[in-house]
């Protein structure tokens, strides 16, 4: 067992490491918060890392300590806001034995209501859908917007395939087209609401909107080999 002085020194060292780690995490969160504000106000393309650093009250060096470039910062910002919804969608897609149509309805309504109630999710989706910009990202762990869309479509298609297997949809349902139709529906609803939030109460209307889309899908799904 060490001397009292050695024990005290070790405790102080541990406290310093913890404080440094906590400060680094706090700086990273501040940068992500600032990125949301700056990208929403200026657009991703026009905004600079210097703008983000100024908004966060730190130096450009602090930005580069946490993020390789603007692409990685953008990806981290998007992931922080959208990862919970994406994770729930992936869990729903991996479900087994549940009613796939009911699952699709539930996850869709919850997503719309979360967008309506969570300011962070709303801001990030406004950046993604309403700024007319696409930023291609190649850094590790920071998928670009098109890749995020692809992942969502794949997850939705897996739910639709399960619905087909359960007999809830016809065997010749075009699952890929159905998934893209659902994606287009949600993109349109969300973009319209973000642009004109006074047009309707997204939280209150979520259930009816999803029910309309799901009912239409079940009643008249797109079919493989259908005439165009």
Which of 3 and 149 is assigned the larger pLDDT? 149
Residue 27's H or E segment, with its range, is helix 4-42
Q: Which of 207, 209, 163 is nearest to 185 (CA)?
A: 209
Q: Is residue 228 very low, low, confident or very high in pLDDT (cuts 50, 70, 90)? A: low
Instruction: Tell which residue, 161, 138, 170, has the closest CA to residue 70.
Output: 138
d(CA 109, CA 207): 6
Q: Which residue has the tokens 């020194």?
A: 9
Report the 10 Å Cβ neighbour count for 53.
Answer: 19
Return the top range by mean pLDDT from 47-61, 136-150, 197-211.
197-211
If you search the block for the tokens 């300011």, which residue do you land on?
A: 119
Q: Is the pTM of this model over 0.75?
A: yes
Give dist(CA 141, CA 104) in Å, integer.
Answer: 27
Query: What domains are defined for the chain?
Result: 1-66 (1.10.10), 75-223 (1.10.357.10)
- Looking at residue 138, its pLDDT comes to 42
Q: CB burial class (10 A; 0-12, 13-18, 19+) of residue 38?
A: buried
Measured between alpha carbons, how far is 149 from 32 in angstroms, rounded to an integer? 21
């Amino acid at each position: 067992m060490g001397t009292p002085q050695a024990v005290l020194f070790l405790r102080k060292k541990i406290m310093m490491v913890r404080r440094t780690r906590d400060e680094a995490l706090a700086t990273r969160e501040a940068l992500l918060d600032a990125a949301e504000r700056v990208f929403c106000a200026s657009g991703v393309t026009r905004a600079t890392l210097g703008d983000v650093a100024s908004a966060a009250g730190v130096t450009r060096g602090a930005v580069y300590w946490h993020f390789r470039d603007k692409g990685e910062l953008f990806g981290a910002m998007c992931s922080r806001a959208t990862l919970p919804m994406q994770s729930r969608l992936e869990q729903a897609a991996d479900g087994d034995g549940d009613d796939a149509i009911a699952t699709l309805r539930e996850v869709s309504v919850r997503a719309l209501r979360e967008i309506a109630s969570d300011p962070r999710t709303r801001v990030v989706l406004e950046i993604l859908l309403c700024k007319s910009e696409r930023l291609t990202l190649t850094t590790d762990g920071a998928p670009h917007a098109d890749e995020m869309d692809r992942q969502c479509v794949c997850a939705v298609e897996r739910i639709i395939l399960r619905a087909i297997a359960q007999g809830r949809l016809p065997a010749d349902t075009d699952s890929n087209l159905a998934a893209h139709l659902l994606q287009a529906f949600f993109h349109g609803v969300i973009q319209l609401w973000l642009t004109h939030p006074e047009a309707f109460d997204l939280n209150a209307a979520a259930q009816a909107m999803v029910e309309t889309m799901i009912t239409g899908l079940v009643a008249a799904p797109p079919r493989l080999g259908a005439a165009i």
